[in-house]
Structure 1
């Protein structure tokens, strides 16, 4: 690590040990990484400045590698986890961060040579066992992210406190369109599962209560479950303030512990926290809780099926720092898991990934504007740089088409109903 980079992160050494400590790496492994990285970057529509001594790429947004030695050691040792940690350590930067990450996301499948892709299980970091989504593990994983601070999320979310993709009337959209776009998304979810007057609705993943409040306003009776104590507490306050306390019950409860029968089930961007190992359990649970004639509405961040299969066992930067235990499904995985383990079938599926890219751009802009306020909440400079990278990384995934978001309707076909 260069002297400048070390000075920037030294204060964070105790909290961020893997950012401050550049991993040891054999000369042979580092040489291989240098060859692979140079070959990959030379073929991309980027400008890559390697410490001012070398310019790679075919032209495009600038990726400036300030400390090539540390950058290569991290990538050689920890792959994409190291790539993200190198950014957190200020070893590389980009004025147009989303543009750079979008180029990389567009070429994810070809960045690593086929010969090394086939050996992925030997060099790619593996997901740690402690992040498995057992009942206790899932609770710890959820609290790692969602119990950071309600005040933190309020700084960059709109007044609905919706932390999922909005559905805009048109693109591009402005901050003034965001809350309306969130309401439009929620209304479509409630339409998909048939929530209305007298409906017994189960919501898996409460968030901060936006869907529960809107469903109650339609006349539904809502049972909402979450694993985040901070979300539960604020969601209850918001429900009370909206005057729907008689229609909404919010519990700290794992989805596997829910009992009863419901006319409709809604879950917004919660399946990503289930983990592939537990997808069959998740869908069997939905099937057992859904009353005859009912429908399930899921909003899910998805990825292409082949990339999901290639990466499902790999430990990623997002899993290490943002969403431990997370795993994005493909639409095909949803369809196949439901068909193999339940009587549920996908009866509608609509993607709107460009709307998520716009949502993330608005969140990231707002987060940057609130930098001092985030610091005042006790979140240090490394956290703020990490969070900016997370939002940019996610936006790039949707802009490149590597990620998508779908609203999926499932209905029963007899079995389990």
Structure 2
């Protein structure tokens, strides 16, 4: 992009200048060591390469330009999990002119587990920040955490989402070239796959946890189901009601601004699309207990969840990273093992898991392209250049993770045992 990067001054830990300088030099050497294992050229302001002595860029390799390398080193020294993204937002580095940002990040994601030796990983935990108390999922903070992201404004999301306003992974038809497929079509395929997984049909009572902008509720009503859909986003609820009314299903769908912990009654099916990531690990027992309590005997729950490998989940569950700080306060990605264990404790069992992580990478690629194309219309006093760079990094960072298989997404069926809910 041609826009001049903004300057973002971040609070640094108070320490003697000599100590801060030493930490920055150590971060530089670690970055040089790490990047020598990755086929991405890191270009210094003088044109040289950080990860090679002498030489020049290799033709065909992705490139990253270090515009203000010393500032980048200082941020990485302060906290590597947060500093890299904040350095991008500040304009300390950017993808080379011939390199897509996700292409620059993907090689690092592909080598995530082997980039740093174990002794270095142990040292890195010394700079891990604890998760702030207001991001641990308590009822009194959940509304604030959800609003911080989803109440950015319906118009902002509509500028880059497809007409279904689906803000979760699409599901593409693997029998056809992905490039030939419309995103809205793929999003409706995802929605109907989730409804199929939960066995939703005419006459069923359905609970949706996490309304979004109403597309799943509309599709369930189209099947003849009666739907209660809950959300904590006031802005999403308002537009969802409008869309449901326009579709002619107000007699079948009720939109309620409510925490899942406060829902009463029972349902033939419960569906929740990428909601578990926002719950907070501390409250997963409450979440799964609610699922168990709300689904009728013989019913089913369909979850769509972003996933990470279980070992990585165990090592990162208590750390605070860039995504939690800047995008999803209170968020934590589970593993399939964690989901299975939590479900089992409340009498639910995982009976089917359908993975489609590559589809999320493609979904994110399209969102980022649409976001950047729509930026002139999105830009305002509220959505400034810092916001643009933050969201550009967020979408590319996640795309790289899914492309590399560092994270995944799946639709998971949980079946309720035949038990008495009374």
In 2, are the aligned partners of 1:152 and 1:377 still within 8 Å (CA)? no
C-alpha change, 1:70 and 1:156, in structure 2 (3 Å) is same
Deviations 1:321-373 (A, max 9, x none): 1000000001111111111x211000000100111111111111111110100
TM-superposed CA distance for 1:80, in Å, is: 2.1
Q: Which residue of 2 aligns with 1:331?
A: 336
* 1:167 equivalent in alignment to 2:171: yes
Q: C-alpha distance in 1, partners of 2:303/2:284?
A: 13
In 2, are the aligned partners of 1:343 and 1:414 still within 8 Å (CA)? no
Per mean C-alpha deviation after superposition, the further-off stretch among 22-31 and 130-139 is 22-31
Q: Which of these residues, 24, 27, 48, is aligned with residue 42 of structure 2?
A: 48
Q: Which of these residues, 148, 154, 160, is aligned with residue 150 of structure 1?
A: 154
Q: Which residue of 1 aligns with 2:371?
A: 367
Q: Which residue of 1 aligns with 2:88?
A: 87
Deviations 1:282-320 (A, max 9, x none): 111100111010000000011111111111111111111
Give matches, 1:8-407, under 5 Å: 8-10=5-7, 17-18=9-10, 26-52=20-46, 54-57=48-51, 60-94=61-95, 95-170=99-174, 172-174=177-179, 177-339=182-344, 341-376=345-380, 378-407=382-411
C-alpha change, 1:348 and 1:396, in structure 2 (3 Å) is same
TM-superposed CA distance for 1:413, in Å, is: 2.4
Q: C-alpha distance in 2, partners of 1:22/1:51?
A: 24
Q: C-alpha distance in 2, partners of 1:416/1:128?
A: 39
C-alpha change, 1:143 and 1:175, in structure 2 (3 Å) is farther
C-alpha change, 1:415 and 1:107, in structure 2 (3 Å) is farther
TM-superposed CA distance for 1:211, in Å, is: 0.1
In 1, are the aligned partners of 2:297 and 2:419 still within 8 Å (CA)? no
In 1, are the aligned partners of 2:172 and 2:181 still within 8 Å (CA)? no
Q: Which residue of 2 aligns with 1:13?
A: none
Q: C-alpha distance in 1, partners of 2:257/2:318?
A: 29
3-state SS, counterpart of residue 259 of structure 1: coil
Q: C-alpha distance in 2, partners of 1:363/1:395?
A: 10
Instruction: Extract unaligned runs of 5+ from structure 1.
Output: 11-15
3-state SS, counterpart of residue 118 of structure 1: helix
Q: C-alpha distance in 1, partners of 2:130/2:180?
A: 39
3-state SS, counterpart of residue 291 of structure 1: strand
3-state SS, counterpart of residue 300 of structure 2: strand
C-alpha change, 1:159 and 1:174, in structure 2 (3 Å) is farther
TM-superposed CA distance for 1:36, in Å, is: 1.2
3-state SS, counterpart of residue 286 of structure 2: helix
3-state SS, counterpart of residue 327 of structure 1: coil
Q: C-alpha distance in 2, partners of 1:224/1:43?
A: 48
In 2, are the aligned partners of 1:23 and 1:74 still within 8 Å (CA)? no
In 1, are the aligned partners of 2:12 and 2:78 still within 8 Å (CA)? no
3-state SS, counterpart of residue 249 of structure 1: strand
Per mean C-alpha deviation after superposition, the further-off stretch among 250-259 and 110-119 is 110-119
3-state SS, counterpart of residue 225 of structure 1: strand
TM-score by length of 2: 0.92
Q: C-alpha distance in 2, partners of 1:175/1:125?
A: 44
Deviations 1:22-67 (A, max 9, x none): 6666233222212211110111111111333641448521011111
* 1:411 equivalent in alignment to 2:415: yes
Q: C-alpha distance in 2, partners of 1:279/1:256?
A: 11
In 2, are the aligned partners of 1:287 and 1:416 still within 8 Å (CA)? no
In 1, are the aligned partners of 2:165 and 2:215 still within 8 Å (CA)? yes
C-alpha change, 1:8 and 1:391, in structure 2 (3 Å) is closer
Q: C-alpha distance in 2, partners of 1:291/1:377?
A: 49
C-alpha change, 1:119 and 1:168, in structure 2 (3 Å) is same
What RMSD in Å do the two structures reach over aligned CA positions?
Answer: 2.0
3-state SS, counterpart of residue 350 of structure 1: strand
TM-score by length of 1: 0.93
In 1, are the aligned partners of 2:172 and 2:189 still within 8 Å (CA)? yes
Q: C-alpha distance in 2, partners of 1:304/1:36?
A: 25
Instruction: Extract unaligned runs of 5+ from structure 2.
Output: 53-57
TM-superposed CA distance for 1:277, in Å, is: 1.2
In 2, are the aligned partners of 1:175 and 1:362 still within 8 Å (CA)? no
